[in-house]
Amino acid sequence: GAFLVYNLLFVEPRLTFGVASGDEVLTLVLLLFVGVVMGRLAGRQRDREQAATRREEEARSLFRVSRDIATSERLTDAMQAVVGRLAREAGMERTWIGLGSTVAHERVVADSADDGAPIPPIGTHAILQRDRDEGSATWTRIHPPVGRPGTGSPAGPRKALFRVEIRAGDESIGSLWSLRAESSGAPAVEEARLL
């Protein structure tokens, strides 16, 4: 914008986009270059600010989860508080913890749904695949041979089901399940880290 306004108002012939002098062309090119560089730097700074805000909110969420765990008198109370907090802060409609050696043998021990609604059938879902260093994680879609695909109903929007395996050492002891509208897509990086 500054490039065009400068050319229109201050470069001879005025009130046109023509340039009469070679010196003015150099000035215009430098103005354009400086404008592009400054715009890129401002954009990067804005991106850094947004990333810092997301990291701050993630740290606050993790603190609230650890406070729920530390202040609960019983393990069941802590799990109930954690699933409720995770549902709210990770943007999930519902979150629950199932304990058991396999998905088929899991028993629900905490559920963010207060209305006592039944757990949706475990069909197609995404599982969080983490590397050993916990550096990166990806959601991998699992299609079990048994069960109905998806968790949507004809009367409502389709739901996406996400699973984070709970491990103690090398042994699987259960899962953290999360449910959200399929249109919301997979959890963002910050939501996945929180889960």
Distance CA 69, CA 90 (A): 17
pTM, entire model: 0.67
Residues of the chain with pLDDT under 70: 132-136, 145-156
pLDDT tens figures, 62-119: 898 899 889 989 988 899 999 999 998 888 999 999 999 888 888 998 888 877 788 8
Rg of the Cα trace of the chain? 26
Q: What is the pLDDT of residue 156?
A: 62
Helix, strand, or coil here: 147?
coil
Kindly list the distances between the CA atom of residue 69 and the CA atoms of 6, 20, 80, 172, in Å, as whole numbers in the listed order: 61, 73, 10, 21
Q: What is the pLDDT of residue 148?
A: 47
